[in-house]
Amino acid sequence: MTDDILATIRDRAGDAPVRLGLILGSGLGHVADAVDGVSIDYADLPGFPHAGVSGHSPKLTIGTLEGQRIAVLGGRAHYYEAGDPKAMRLPLEVLKALGAEGVIATNAAGSLDPEMPTGSAMLLTDHINFSGLNPLIGEPDDSRFVPMTDAYDPDWRRGLVAAADATGTPLSQGVYAWYSGPSFETPAEIRAIRMLGADAVGMSTVPEVILARFMGLRVSAISAITNMAAGMSDEKIGHAHTKEMAPLGAAKLEAILRNFLANMQ
Ligand code: HPA
């Protein structure tokens, strides 16, 4: 199946290898518009997820941004859609087969840190898999025992922080907790994961990070903070609010990403 998909992609977008893959979260889809290239609907890529969450744009865009050829997944599949923690496996395999050395995942997230308000961007330094689920359950051999120390690539993290500094873009850093969704967390759950050391909470990214590390891809991830988490403010939490607020963080994310790509060796 991957061969057919690769043939379709190469037919439409050419066969030059891509440098990295970018996964866009809720309300962040417009970042793909900045890429000078070709977009292919997921529907034309057999086995790609439907990415049927509003605020996502289910297209694979391949082209150039700041001098680097990249592949952008405009939408992701989430565990909460069909209960499959491996939902992003095929798209990640395709990114790898296209030559990507790694992926930068983005997401919308709630903040657990009063100093990190709505509109902030947060670079993930680590995560807490609060769901207890794992996309590697069922893998048959020892390759399933993936080390997760430094899962978030230290070099890329340094590069993204340098890009934030160079562009004068505020960038927080912290730990992301994966909560399965699709219901939002209760205030008690937020208090609990704050005590456990989380700085932000969201419904995605962690299974992709585990899969990407399994495949030997480098990983970075950035959250666009769309709200203070449940019980932390009077802000109204909901998907409409997420989509409305994501562009604030997305603007920061795009500035950082452009500089990072422009300076990639
Ligand atoms: N919780 C979980 N996922 C989210 C949130 C949140 O507060 N905001 C955006 N995505």
Read off the pLDDT of residues 23-75 as tens digits, 9 standing for 90 and up.
998 777 878 888 999 999 999 999 898 756 666 678 999 999 999 999 999 98
Residue with CA nearest ligand 1 atom 10: 109
CA distance linking residue 19 with residue 23, whole number of Å: 14
Task: Find out whether the beta carbon of 55 lies less than 6 Å from any atom of ligand 1.
Answer: no
> Can you give the pTM of this predicted structure?
0.96
Q: Any idea how long the chain is? A: 265
Report, as an integer, the average pLDDT of 101-128: 97
Task: Find out whether the beta carbon of 185 lies less than 6 Å from any atom of ligand 1.
Answer: yes
Ligand 1 pocket: which of 76, 179, 194, 203 to mutate (most atoms within 8 A of CB): 203
Atom number of ligand 1 nearest to Cα 179 = 2
Q: Which domains, and CATH codes, for the chain?
A: 2-262 (3.40.50.1580)
* SS3 call for 21: strand
Task: Find out whether the beta carbon of 110 lies less than 6 Å from any atom of ligand 1.
Answer: yes
Report, as an integer, the average pLDDT of 152-177: 98
Q: With pLDDT > 90 as the criterion, what percentage of the chain qualifies? A: 81
Instruction: Write the CA distances from 156 to 34, 72, 115, 148, 241, integer angstroms.
Output: 21, 18, 24, 16, 30
Place of tokens 């997230």: 109
CA distance linking residue 64 with residue 244, whole number of Å: 27
CA distance linking residue 209 with residue 56, whole number of Å: 19
Residue with CA nearest ligand 1 atom 2: 202
Q: Which has more pLDDT, 136 or 32?
A: 136
